[in-house]
Amino acid sequence: MPEFSPEVSQFIQAAWPIVLMGVIFYFLLYRPQKKEQKKRTEMLSSLKKGDKIVTIGGIHGTITGITDKIVTLKVAEKVEIDITRTAVSHKQNEAK
């Protein structure tokens, strides 16, 4: 093991807790959040006509039309609403 000067040794002793906190932050917060974000993006991109979904606001319905940003949702007989694609919470058959 190489010998460090007292200043370098003192810096290493002071810096390792900060580095450790960074590693913990990465594995406990950042990485799981990125994983969930990727899963949600995949779910939103896989939406298609006929899927039964639930919106963030709790509205249940079936997709009757879809574009890049807008989803047309049939919520009752002869009742359709347009919502933003990002307002979809999850597919009904994939209930949380």
| Cα 88 from Cα 85, distance rounded (Å) | 6
Could you give the percent of the chain with pLDDT greater than 70?
A: 96
Confidence band (pLDDT; 50, 70, 90) for 95?
A: very low
pLDDT of residue 20: 94
Are residues 38 and 80 in contact, defined by beta-carbon separation less than 8 angstroms? no
Residue with tokens 């359709």: 80
CA distances from 77 to 42, 61, 74, 80, 81 (A): 30, 11, 8, 8, 12
